Structure 1
Amino acid sequence: MSLFEVVALLLAGFAAGTINTVVGSGTLVTFPTLLAFGVPPVTANVSNTIGLVPGSISGAVGYRRELAGQRARVLRLCSASFLGALVGAVLLLVLPPGAFEAIVPVLILLGCVLVVAGPRISGWVARRHEATGGLPESGAWWVWPLVGLTGVYGGYFGAAQGVLLMAVLGIGVNETLQRLNGVKNVLAAVANGVAGLVFAFVADVDWWIVLVIALGAVVGGQVGASYGRRLPAPVLRAFIVLVGVVALVMFLF
């Protein structure tokens, strides 16, 4: 890589790490950058996935205060992300390139709609569970399988994974958005880590790309945690939807 490419990729990794920590979709910065530099799509995808893992971990560490008291919930949902990402990584390696991407815009649009409608839907869900003492600690029963399906998507490609996770958690778990954002960062780190581990052994990885993206993403993760936790719930919700809409437009056009 030339010096220009290194600097550009370092900045892209920083931006991706910041965006991923606040909401998700940092892949929409790094992946197109790699394609613009002539990196083959599959190599770009797998190298990008591995490179963003340290940034996801950095963001999760930055949200450690919001994660306090959620150990049981996080561990249970991590198992769903782990299994889902494993399936998604395998699908990337065995399916034709366009097989899964056809539904990506639909998933992103659905995530945006669910985030907007989240307060009303979550209120309805809570009322439905009042007779049995409210939602369980880990959330409604369908949260685990939907987190698993989001993990499948995350293992396969991952752009806007955070939007989908925040939609599922925001509706099915009775908790504040900022605390759920901390959970989202852990789940995304697990999904990216599992997929990255699979890719490291069986896919064509460019480790220089991984290193440069990782360096930028780690710093970006801390910046995202510092500023993301200060956003009021309505602002955070609006930012999630904005990122989701941008992701949708990029996929469609």
Structure 2
Amino acid sequence: MSFWSAVAIALAGTAAGMINTIVGSGTLITFPTLLFFGVNPLAANVSNTVGLVAGGASGAWGYRHELTGQAPTVRRLIPLSFIGSVIGAALLLILPPSAFNAIVPALIGIALVLVLVGPRIQAWASRDRHEQPAWHAPIMGVGVLVAGVYGGYFGAAQGVLLMGLFSALSSEPLQRLNGYKNVLALVVNLVAAVLFVVFAREHIDWLVVVLIAAGSALGGVLGARVGRRLPPNALRAVIVVIGIVAVVKLIWFP
């Protein structure tokens, strides 16, 4: 790998760390970059997942203030993300890459709709109520599990899926929901990374891992500073734009 290739991959990692912290879909930058520089697709996917753990950690830490007092909710959701990520990572090692391609754009599209109409759904569901409807919690749990499976398998736009789910089923402020998303996405990436290190070590390019880890760690810090200052409507707009880019990329430029 040349010096400039290494610089480009590290910069892609920085951009991915920022985008993942603000909304998600940073893999749509790093994964194509790795393919462009000749990294095998499976090795690119696995190495990218391992490298982006550093950015997930710095981004989650950057949102720690939004999560103050939210430990019970986080503890309830983390095991679901954990289980889902184990299933997703196992599927990546077992199934052909084309297995999920047909449904991923549809999942992201549904998530975008939920991000846009989430406040209206909340207003309707909570009308004349002072508490969340009882069915929201189990539906959210199932959604977090499914997002974990998807994130363990590939990971691009995992954040969009989670934010769509949270927007529709939670009345918490959007920035707090983004904090939830960052913690759960970190859990998914970390679990998948550990499984890849244990069971797919031969597919890991450690130079790529180091470059993406260094870049994404910086990107996570920068992304938290930017993302926490975005007003709710601006954050929704960013989520929708990135989600649309993800759908276009996955359908027309696989």
State the TM-score bracket (shorter-chain normalisation).
over 0.9
Corresponding residue number in structure 1 for 2:17: 17
- Two-structure CA RMSD over aligned residues (Å): 1.5
- Matches of 2:177 and 2:79 in 1, distance apart? 17
How far did 1:145 drift? 1.0
Deviation of the 1:97 alpha carbon: 1.5
Relative distance call for 1:118 and 1:136 in structure 2 (3 A) is closer
Contact 2:23–2:178 under 8 Å retained in 1: yes
CA distance in 1, matches of 2:135, 2:235: 22
Matching residue within 189, 197, 201 for 2:198: 201
Answer whether contact 2:118 2:167 (CA < 8 A) is retained: yes
- Hey, what's the Cα distance between the residues in 2 that align with 1:37 and 1:240? 28
| Selected match of 1:146 from 137, 143, 147 | 143
Aligned to 2:109: 109
2:46 pairs with 1:50: no
Query: Could you give the per-residue CA deviations for residues 138-174 of structure 1, whole angstroms, max 9, x where no partner exists?
Result: 9532101110000000000011000000011111122
The answer to whether the 8 A contact 1:73-1:138 is kept is no
SS in 2 for 1:25: coil
SS of corresponding position for 2:100: helix
Q: Tell me the alpha carbon deviations over residues 181-210 of structure 1, each in whole angstroms, 9 at most, x when there is no partner.
A: 011000000000011111111111111111
4+ residue runs over 3 A deviation: 136-139
In the alignment, is residue 164 of structure 1 matched against residue 161 of structure 2? yes
Q: Distance in 2 between matches of 1:15 and 1:164?
A: 20
| 2:236 is the counterpart of 1:237 | yes
Matches within 5 A, 1:1-253: 1-127=1-127, 130=129, 133-135=130-132, 140-203=137-200, 204-253=203-252
Aligned residues with identical type, % of pairs = 56
Given that 1:66 and 1:182 are in contact with CA atoms closer than 8 Å, whether structure 2 keeps it comes out as yes
TM-score normalised over the length of structure 2:
0.95
Q: What residue identity is the alignment partner of 1:227?
A: V
Structure 1, unpaired ranges of 5+: none
TM-score normalised according to structure 1 size: 0.96
Instruction: Supply the AA of the counterpart residue of 2:137.
Output: A
User: Whole-Å Cα distance in 2 between the matches of residues 170 and 118 of structure 1?
Assistant: 5
Tell me how many residue pairs correspond in the alignment: 250
User: For structure 2, which runs of at least 5 residues remain unmatched after alignment?
Assistant: none
Task: Give the partner amino acid of 2:98.
Answer: G
Instruction: Give the aligned residue type for 1:87.
Output: I
User: C-alpha separation between the residues in 1 aligned to 2:169 and 2:112?
Assistant: 15
Deviation per residue, 1:12-37 (Å, 9 max, x gap): 00000000000000000000000001
